[in-house]
Amino acid sequence: MIIDIHGHYTTAPPALGEWRDRQIAGLKNPSLAPRRSDLEISDDELRNSIEQNQLRLMDERGIDLTVFSPRASFMAHHVGTFETSAEWAAICNELCYRVSRLYPDRFVPAAMLPQSPGVDPASCIPELTRCVEEFGAVALNLNPDPSGGHWSEPPLTDRHWYPIYEKMVEYDIPGMVHVSTSVNPAFHTTGAHYLNADTTAFMQLIQGNLFADFPTLKLVIPHGGGAVPYHWGRFRGLAMALNKPSLEEHLLGNVFFDTCVYHQPGMDLLLDVIPTRNILFASEMIGAVRDIDPCTGHNFDDTARYIEAARLAAPDLDAVQEQNARTVYPRLNALLKQQGR
């Protein structure tokens, strides 16, 4: 089985974006604000959006199941107030849940949190609870920078974030550290802000001692870890300079990396530097890079090809494609067992 742990609903029906535009317009003119009931998306519209896009590519690439969350760039936690984010997150999470109900063997939901700059993360707990207990979410996406590129929140190791970590430990679900849209013109959203955030999150974790307080907490750093594998020696040296244990002891019992790396040399580097048990298959399709690579004739985000071409030993290949995901996502593993898989 091939499990893709990083999928977003980037192809949702246009009505979702139109509703969001009205919600944002309503921030200035309340008379324009939509009601939740104004959003009408049928099951047939959901099927059409999925079967022509994610599901088609999953079948072509041999991917069996995707952990599916709302579109990351649509989270836009910087927009409006907490109430704005709460309403938006609830709608987006419900759509992912509906997709998982239509295709229970192919999609499993992960939760978007209703974060808002400067707001206590504990405010996210009701939506997280709903997603886990009612929708069967097996993970969450945690935005370390809800300001949208201005980094106004404390580092991930600060007690500011502890309410979310406590709930993650209670539910035994991992969190993918994933930012959203950048409104800072210095940082392109997917080319700079995403990768900067991956790298920044890892360095924050080196500097702190988060896992002393939460020894069972699991965090996934996406996009191959940003610059982390390429600069592994730098991070090892910085850990030493900060009088921290080795990275293997300090972080790698709790921190994992996905394979959203879009060329063969990058994938080979990731697989060579990071221990196999810390790597989980992912593609983030249909996401930041949607074109065909003229050098290969295949989509940049067809990461399954890179994994296969890396010629891993059979046990390592199985670990990356399936077993690591089952270990890091216990609720997913339990669901698969219930399904006889």
Say if CB 144 and CB 156 are below 8 A apart.
yes
124 token code pair: 């996210």
Q: Tell me the C-alpha distance between 22 and 30, whole Å.
A: 10
Burial class (CB in 10 A: 0-12, 13-18, 19+), 249: exposed
Question: Which listed residue (51, 284, 308, 322) is catalytic?
Answer: 284
Burial class (CB in 10 A: 0-12, 13-18, 19+), 98: middle
Burial class (CB in 10 A: 0-12, 13-18, 19+), 319: buried
- The beta-strand segments (E) located in 51-109 are 65-70, 107-109
Q: Is 249 a known active-site residue?
A: no
Decide the pairing of beta strands 279-280 and 140-142: unpaired
Q: Which residues are catalytic?
A: 284
